[in-house]
Structure 1
Amino acid sequence: MSTSAGGKAARQPSAEQQRLEEDDLRQKHWKRWGPYLSERAWGTVREDYSPYGTAWEALPHDQARSKAYRWNEDGLAGICDRHQFVCFALALWNGRDPILKERMFGLTGHEGNHGEDLKEYYFYLDSTPTHSYMKFLYKYPQAAFPYTQLVEENRRRTRNDPEFELLDTGVFDDDRYFDVFVEYAKASPEDLLVRIEVINRGSQPAELTLLPTIWFRNTWSWGLDVRRPRMRKGRSLPGVSVVEFDHDYYGRRQLLCEGAPELLFTENETNTQRLYGDAEGERYVKDSFHAYVVQGEKAAVNPDQVGSKAAAHYVVSTQPGQPVSIRLRFTNGSSDGAFDADTFDAVFAARLREADEFYAPLAPPDVSDDARLVQRQAFAGLLWSKQFYHYAVDRWLKGDPAGPEPPSERLRGRNADWTHLYNADVISMPDKWEYPWYAAWDLAFHCLPIALIDSRFAKDQLVLMLREWYMHPNGQIPAYEWALGDVNPPVHAWAAWRVYKIEKKRKGVGDRIFLERVFHKLLLNFTWWVNRKDAEGKNIFQGGFLGLDNIGVFDRSKPLPTGGHIEQSDATSWMGMYCLNMLSIALELARDDRAYEDVASKFFEHFVYICRAMNNIGNAKIELWNREDGFFYDVLHLPDGKTFPMKVRSMVGLIPLFAVETLDSELIDRLPRFKHRMQWFIENRPDFSLHIETQSQDGEVRRFLSLVNRHRLPKVLRYLLDEREFLSPYGVRALSRYHEEHPYILSMMGTTHCVEYQPAESTNGLFGGNSNWRGPVWFPVNYLLIESLQKFHYYLGDSFTVEYPTGSGQRRHLADVAAELSRRLTHTFLRGTDGRRPVYGGTEKFQQDRHWRDLVLFYEYFHGDNGAGIGASHQTGWTGLVAKLIQQSGT
């Protein structure tokens, strides 16, 4: 401990915190190497060169082993540099599989009965923010991997059936599988130690082939840069095989392989003979290691031991329960003593100890060990889900100089209006298999828990989405690669404001330069929303999709079958929230620069006008607030001028709760111009008084802004907190359970549209294969509900209570309600008194087996009635918010 000037002992920064500081200051590049390799590059938009955008079919899994990728690389437990010039991953073969296991397998969007669907079991167990220590587990069956059975059985099933999972095939029966642990530790920023441990969980001896593989991303086949870097066998060392190369960007490197394994070399080139029948194609190709190991073709690899792809060939015999380890080292330094215990295993021990030290303060002292485990794996998932993402739309549309002329249809198809977009960065992914591309609103939620451990990365991610080569010149933020021009909820300002406050609380000072940078760019985005999504200029917005895939009567991304348009309760509410987020940022910046007072007034006024429109003040034709039901609904406007509410009780009607803020006099009294303008509204526009309250206590004045005023709040919360409606034992449902027995039915123009409650995957394919907002619990909107209830409590205080749950006769103030919602969400992952985790439902392997039950997956969404994880199994992205909930509340 050191002593500060005031005499108070100050805690020394941990070793990992020091590494973060060194990286922030560019003193040492601790983040240069990390888990930036994707887990699926096949079946993506970027690799789709078909005429009509059939991405899943353009490069399927069966071709992935043989075709060189244009934009990204994928692999198993892999790492690469932040530019993805050099990649490293593990390949496996159990002696029975028809193919070498080099990448994760799953079903395409058209093969799965509920859309794309990963069919593997792997787990992100640990990672520090600088990736100085990382740990990954892959469970590999000893029987042949059932590729065909998984495809055929899921194709046979309907949307009314559950998905057919890998465990259902029986390949893990009697524990006939390998646990393959892959660990990384950095001795220095350029010295990476790798430890691979295999444990045979079965009852019989079994043999396993391991191929730690290193390769260059193919940057030379496209006619833009013909230089092809080379790997070669290095000078032999006692008991060590060496792969070495000289790279134009990174200089000389070596991969040192303990045990002197055989080294295999080939090229990261397309096998044109296999895919296209080209007899003149290259001899040494991307899938040569498959041919060598699985098919026994010894001539498939280069006998000169050079190439752009190399692997160390290990064959290990394993006894039941006995671990077998191999060690490797990727370094730019000396190879002397590479595997000496003092310089290898000691580094792993130190990095793990430092990781423990770093994470210890992030959970409350009284939190359970199980909650700490869940939080640690949530952080690990967030950090392992970083990915080098490469997509240059103009080049993708036009094709490469060395490639064939693209179909002319592409120039008028997907993303044709985004030719400015050039992405080549490490980005936080929702899920590196099912969603191996960024999604703007997902990323905003990722940044909150990330800010607890690496606020620099969180800030950089938010700024990145607003850079000129991401944001459209018209101010729109790119949505996701399948449709860059689609519309995500505008949560970027909220995320920036929250990340700013999280860092300010941690460090004692806020990064005002960051806040200014995002604010000025968000002004452009806010203007885009106002100009493009307020069709009639009445402060009622039509956002379209807005992430709510299948929650409404119609697919809101497409023209309505009825004609006309929808006045959206959620789009209008998101914009109300956007106004308040921008207002908060402007007021913070105005502390030091009075020029921001004027723009703060602009957002205050805009919020007031949205309030007026949202609550049916002065416009009888637009009635988003339904007085009869006491709830917010979308309103359908037909071409003949008729309007009526679509009475679906869904998250659409709860999102108005997100737009709430309290302004304290401590700040407002320092900003006289803003205060004067606000006071004018309060005194001269009495019709707004229900949504702009003023409260005085002990000389302090608080002003309360909300779309849902104190009189309407209990009515909305009556639905929210009713266990027969929205309130699930595991959070808040996206659709009220009321619609299970009372479906909403709309018959128009000879067609009947129906919305009914479904707690898991939707049986309706209204919006794509994963149409799934009809009842499950989603973490991001739940998190915003918790935060909103805390804000309501801050102003309304303990005296404002509601019945919780509805009908129970018990009354709670809103801070307690928020804490209870947080508890319900976190308990989705925690073992109950029966030892079971709700997230794993009835999957007994995960509930009972000691080698599975403490491995946590963070799904995309959760069964509305029993909490079982559904959808993308590795979407730690926004579900990683559980780490923040544990940090702020304790469990």
Structure 2
Amino acid sequence: MITEREKNTPERQRLAEEAAFEKNWKRWGPYLAERQWGTVREDYSETGDAWNYFTHDQARRRAYRWGEDGLLGWCDRKSRINFAPVLWNGKDPILKERLFGVSGTQGNHGEDVKECYYYLNSTPTHSYTRALYKYPIAEYPYSDLVHTNQHRGPEEPEYGIEDTGVFEGGEYWDVETTVAKAGPSDLCWRLKLTNQSSEAQTIHVLPSVWMRNSWSWGQDHFESEWQRPEIRLEGDRLVLEHCDMGVFHFYIDEDPEVPVEWLFTENDSNLKSLFGQENPGPYLKDAFHEYLINVRKDAVNPEMRGTKAAAWMKVTVPAGKSYEVRCRLIAEEDDQGQGFSDFDGVVEAREREEAEFYDCMLPQGLSEEERRVAVQGYAGLLWSKQFYYYVVKNWLYGDNGWENASELRVSGRNKDWRHMFARDVLSMPDKWEYPWFACWDSAFHMVAFARLDPDFAKKQLLLFLREWYLHPNGQIPAYEWSFSDVNPPVHAWAVWQVYQILERNGIEDLEWLEKAVQKLCLNFTWWVNRKDHDGNHLFSGGFLGLDNIGVFDRSQDLGDGARLLQADGTAWMGGFCSQMLEMCLKLAETRPAYEDMASKFFEHFVRIARAMNEEFGRGLWCEDDGFYYDHLVLKNGQKIPLKVRSMVGLLTMMGVAEIDMKKVEHMPGFKKRLDWFIENRPDLAEYTTYRDEQRDDKESRLLMLPLRERFEKILVRMLDEEEFLSDFGLRSLSKDHSEHPYSIVWKGENHKVSYVPGESDGYMFGGNSNWRGPIWFPVNYIIIASLRKYQHFYGNNFQVEFPTGSGEKLSLGQVADRISDRLVSMFLPNDCGCRPALSALKHYCQGQEWEDLVLFYEYFNGDTGQGLGASHQTGWTALVVTLMRDRIRGY
């Protein structure tokens, strides 16, 4: 429950004011993208080659169409006004305005950010945020990083910034950026520059503010957006005028010993430099680069006005010392001439309130290290919110229906999503590597958000079901590279998870649940109509987020009339049914109309269960192996099991629902149809079971995809340390395939799957993720949540060996706890003083400079727990905090 003490914290009060539309506390936040270049939104090419159409090298000179990016920056919720630090060490060939990384075509494992940065703190309203960037004193090794990665193969590890040696001997700057809100539109921004080297060093720092370019594209969706705003110097402050935002003032607390030079330009493309075309004016986006590095004094506007401005300071800092720059951005109506008199007090107060908020919200009993992981995990989750803008119709047909138009683009990517109008703050998977939403990522994010910011979690889940996101046919958009691709249908699971989390904390919102269920019915119908090829309740769906887990690329046509029946596709749909059933039954307690819908999902569930479990090779179960497999269906109808023991078989256990028969007694319509079904369809009724004994005077019926005997066989494999059970969680592929790879010859080519515990050893899906051995948080979390549901039904009477062969018997709830502990252990220092997730990076071990910094990776090595893939995927990996909460609470 949310305690009275927590409700009375200043941060919870701000959240309440925001939810009640009393104060606009979330108007400003760290919503600025870490990377806007290389995205589909900015790609107007003929070929759809987003990485090469708009590159990092072009980003300093080329105005963006659909957003902005910066270095750990901030903006308002529509990125109209933005601010971020710009740095220069006096050696780099370019200013450090944004994070650098190799593109999807440059990296040996796909795109990869090559920077060291950390999200350290944030409250849900962003009343207090803090982040850290490590900037080398030596010249940044741009060429080395690109060249070395391009010459490494998929069997070699990525070459990161730490590998270059630029941080050795403390030869770097710690650049800490802190923003504290004195009010909803009164932002106190502090930059702290710490020289970590053994000698005095000089750094150029340019706190920058600028307007998103919305005027270069002609009339936009809102009339105000194509009117050019202005920033100008008036006395000791900048005045920012935006017809949609109003007037803001920006101040620098000037140090008499460090001169400040104001620089102004326009956020317009340098067309001559980029394309040899005539420029729109003399002052361009790359003016500050030209002014400092190329010493072009005419690059900036002497009239001290424009749409982009910066205060240039050249600071020398002794070894081991720090220098602070204080800035303030404040709405004109809030500016009472307070200047910086209350600045330090505001920052200190918000810092105390942030600590108080987490002291109240996090469960008692967490160790100091666990609390550090929790606070940084939540910080990463909150910092990963981003303004996301993409109007597909305008993008397809060109601005104003003609500029940038292309016949090829109209018939290419996302052509069927003309209704899509995204202009929101969304939770991103990773603001550099994946600065666009992915619908199944977002579902897991909201489970992590539920206790942190319930209002945001609820609104975000509903947003993807609104008519300007959800396709008229009922499909939820997958991700911007292909909205029509198919992610797993986990939205219903997330809605039900969030509802239950909120209900346990004293928040019941049946109206929200009802809205979600109504739209989720459309999505369910889409799945049934599109992904059940034969109408036999066995589903396909494509790669389903699990990239290279199968023998084939599951998103491609196999040819020769062959197709796949997918164990995970069918399991996801069984889970979808079970979640919809439970939600409809919840609603039916007070809304009888939902009894009919509950009956529909009950019947559909048991039909899926029978189809998956049918004997004589008609289902997906293999009795000899005790496992569920994908099946290859040939043109002549022959079915061939693809005997890869992978997560696709384990996910079948998510198809589980418990029906409280005492409550059903008060639902006459549902009870009548349930009784008829069980009496008249005994062939299907076997997929439900009664509890053997009374507990709390309550009878229940359990629906489950795997029959109990088969469930037990799956658990034997899942909990075998020579198969799925790792010291750090559940592997995505059985380790047994390291010695016994599975292969099949198809169309004259041998296709093989082997256990690969770390990075992908091939280029399927770009090679930037691997489901052939590593540990992935989202599916681990689903299995843990499912085990807890079985525990609730069976109690302690159902016990299994953990690990398999050990002789130690545990209940399913205890098994869930043990798997949780293994997952959490990746983030805590081990006996050697290293966090397993960071064990390959010596700077992060105890006793080293960065020991208290935590990164939340996309996935983890199945044998060592080493973090892999995107390093800031705090979205679904923030579930580690939820696991710690549940463990302490004794779920």
TM norm structure 2:
0.96
Q: Does 1:438 align with 2:437?
A: yes
Q: Does 1:117 align with 2:117?
A: no
Matches of 1:790 and 1:774, distance apart in 2: 26
Matches of 1:192 and 1:294, distance apart in 2: 30
Matches of 2:633 and 2:27, distance apart in 1: 53
The structure 2 residue matched to 1:137, chosen from 111, 116, 132, is 132
Q: Look up the match of 1:51.
A: 46
Q: Look up the match of 1:869.
A: 867
The structure 1 residue matched to 2:11, chosen from 12, 16, 22, is 16
Q: Look up the match of 1:704.
A: 702
Question: Are the counterparts in 2 of residues 109 and 769 from structure 1 also a CA contact under 8 Å?
Answer: no
CA deviations on 1:382-410 (whole Å, 9 max, x unpaired) are 00000000001110011113974423111
Q: Look up the match of 2:656.
A: 660
Deviates more, 1:683-692 or 1:553-562: 683-692
Cα 1:402/1:418, change in 2 over 3 Å: closer
Note the 1:826-865 alignment, pairs <5 A.
826-848=824-846, 850-865=848-863
**SS of structure 1 residue aligned to 2:177:** strand
CA deviations on 1:800-844 (whole Å, 9 max, x unpaired) are 111110111211111110000000001110112322100012211
Q: Look up the match of 1:881.
A: 879
Query: Which residue identity lines up with residue 298 of structure 2 in the other structure?
Result: A
Q: Look up the match of 1:630.
A: 626
Shift of 1:292: 1.0
CA deviations on 1:146-185 (whole Å, 9 max, x unpaired) are 0000000000000011111101111111110000000000
Note the 1:290-439 alignment, pairs <5 A.
290-332=289-331, 333-334=334-335, 336-340=337-341, 343-401=342-400, 404-439=403-438
Q: Does 1:785 align with 2:783?
A: yes
The structure 2 residue matched to 1:648, chosen from 634, 641, 644, is 644
Query: Which residue identity lines up with residue 124 of structure 2 in the other structure?
Result: P
Q: Does 1:79 align with 2:74?
A: yes
Shift of 1:700: 2.0
Question: Are the counterparts in 2 of residues 273 and 281 from structure 1 also a CA contact under 8 Å?
Answer: no
Q: Look up the match of 1:575.
A: 573
The structure 1 residue matched to 2:253, chosen from 258, 265, 271, is 258
**SS of structure 1 residue aligned to 2:390:** strand
Question: Are the counterparts in 1 of residues 6 and 361 from structure 2 also a CA contact under 8 Å?
Answer: no
Structure 2 unaligned regions, length at least 5:
220-224
Matches of 1:516 and 1:594, distance apart in 2: 12
Shift of 1:799: 1.6
Q: Look up the match of 1:458.
A: 457
Deviates more, 1:634-643 or 1:426-435: 634-643
Shift of 1:848: 4.1
**SS of structure 1 residue aligned to 2:845:** helix
Cα 1:674/1:831, change in 2 over 3 Å: same
Structure 1 unaligned regions, length at least 5:
237-241
Shift of 1:84: 1.1
Give the root-mean-square deviation of aligned CA atoms.
1.5
Cα 1:401/1:468, change in 2 over 3 Å: same
Deviates more, 1:839-848 or 1:724-733: 839-848
The structure 1 residue matched to 2:199, chosen from 195, 204, 207, is 204
Note the 1:354-753 alignment, pairs <5 A.
354-401=353-400, 404-506=403-505, 508-616=506-614, 620-695=616-691, 696-697=693-694, 699-753=697-751
Query: Which residue identity lines up with residue 614 of structure 2 in the other structure?
Result: N
Question: Are the counterparts in 1 of residues 801 and 809 from structure 2 also a CA contact under 8 Å?
Answer: yes
CA deviations on 1:181-212 (whole Å, 9 max, x unpaired) are 00000000010000110111110110011111
CA deviations on 1:201-228 (whole Å, 9 max, x unpaired) are 1101100111111011000000115410
Question: Are the counterparts in 1 of residues 6 and 12 from structure 2 also a CA contact under 8 Å?
Answer: no
Q: Look up the match of 1:63.
A: 58
Cα 1:402/1:208, change in 2 over 3 Å: farther
What percent identity do the matched residue pairs reach?
A: 51
Question: Are the counterparts in 2 of residues 364 and 889 from structure 1 also a CA contact under 8 Å?
Answer: no
CA deviations on 1:20-50 (whole Å, 9 max, x unpaired) are 0000011000000001100000000011111
* Runs ≥4 residues deviating over 4 A: 8-12
Q: Look up the match of 2:25.
A: 30
Query: Which residue identity lines up with residue 106 of structure 2 in the other structure?
Result: E
Question: Are the counterparts in 2 of residues 765 and 771 from structure 1 also a CA contact under 8 Å?
Answer: no
Question: Are the counterparts in 1 of residues 6 and 357 from structure 2 also a CA contact under 8 Å?
Answer: no
Shift of 1:691: 2.0
**SS of structure 2 residue aligned to 1:802:** strand
The structure 1 residue matched to 2:123, chosen from 128, 136, 139, is 128
**SS of structure 2 residue aligned to 1:46:** helix
Matches of 1:364 and 1:26, distance apart in 2: 29
The structure 2 residue matched to 1:775, chosen from 773, 776, 779, is 773
Query: Which residue identity lines up with residue 15 of structure 2 in the other structure?
Result: L
Note the 1:817-832 alignment, pairs <5 A.
817-832=815-830
Cα 1:874/1:402, change in 2 over 3 Å: same
Q: Look up the match of 1:239.
A: none
**SS of structure 1 residue aligned to 2:547:** coil
Matches of 2:80 and 2:135, distance apart in 1: 28
Shift of 1:642: 1.6
Matches of 1:787 and 1:842, distance apart in 2: 30
Question: Are the counterparts in 2 of residues 445 and 878 from structure 1 also a CA contact under 8 Å?
Answer: yes
**SS of structure 2 residue aligned to 1:767:** helix
Matches of 2:403 and 2:11, distance apart in 1: 48
Matches of 1:728 and 1:419, distance apart in 2: 45
Matches of 1:249 and 1:409, distance apart in 2: 35
Question: Are the counterparts in 2 of residues 270 and 286 from structure 1 also a CA contact under 8 Å?
Answer: yes
Deviates more, 1:177-186 or 1:698-707: 698-707
Matches of 1:31 and 1:128, distance apart in 2: 11
Cα 1:615/1:413, change in 2 over 3 Å: same
Matches of 1:44 and 1:10, distance apart in 2: 44
Matches of 2:860 and 2:559, distance apart in 1: 31
Q: Look up the match of 2:222.
A: none
Note the 1:235-250 alignment, pairs <5 A.
235-236=235-236, 242-250=237-245
CA deviations on 1:509-543 (whole Å, 9 max, x unpaired) are 41111111111111100000000000110011111
Matches of 1:84 and 1:842, distance apart in 2: 37
Shift of 1:739: 0.6
Matches of 1:131 and 1:364, distance apart in 2: 22
Matches of 1:85 and 1:397, distance apart in 2: 23
Question: Are the counterparts in 2 of residues 263 and 312 from structure 1 also a CA contact under 8 Å?
Answer: yes
Shift of 1:17: 0.3
Deviates more, 1:663-672 or 1:61-70: 663-672
Question: Are the counterparts in 1 of residues 269 and 279 from structure 2 also a CA contact under 8 Å?
Answer: no
Question: Are the counterparts in 2 of residues 622 and 635 from structure 1 also a CA contact under 8 Å?
Answer: no
Deviates more, 1:872-881 or 1:788-797: 788-797
Question: Are the counterparts in 2 of residues 223 and 402 from structure 1 also a CA contact under 8 Å?
Answer: no
Matches of 1:752 and 1:12, distance apart in 2: 61
Query: Which residue identity lines up with residue 606 of structure 2 in the other structure?
Result: V
Cα 1:830/1:610, change in 2 over 3 Å: same
Query: Which residue identity lines up with residue 855 of structure 1 in the other structure?
Result: L
Question: Are the counterparts in 2 of residues 363 and 890 from structure 1 also a CA contact under 8 Å?
Answer: no
Shift of 1:794: 1.1
The structure 1 residue matched to 2:807, chosen from 806, 809, 818, is 809
Shift of 1:294: 1.7
Question: Are the counterparts in 2 of residues 623 and 635 from structure 1 also a CA contact under 8 Å?
Answer: no
Query: Which residue identity lines up with residue 654 of structure 1 in the other structure?
Result: L
Query: Which residue identity lines up with residue 864 of structure 1 in the other structure?
Result: G
Matches of 2:350 and 2:536, distance apart in 1: 58
Aligned length: 875
Shift of 1:114: 0.3
**SS of structure 1 residue aligned to 2:708:** coil
Q: Look up the match of 1:231.
A: 231
Deviates more, 1:143-152 or 1:216-225: 216-225
CA deviations on 1:202-256 (whole Å, 9 max, x unpaired) are 10110011111101100000011541001100223xxxxx111222122211110
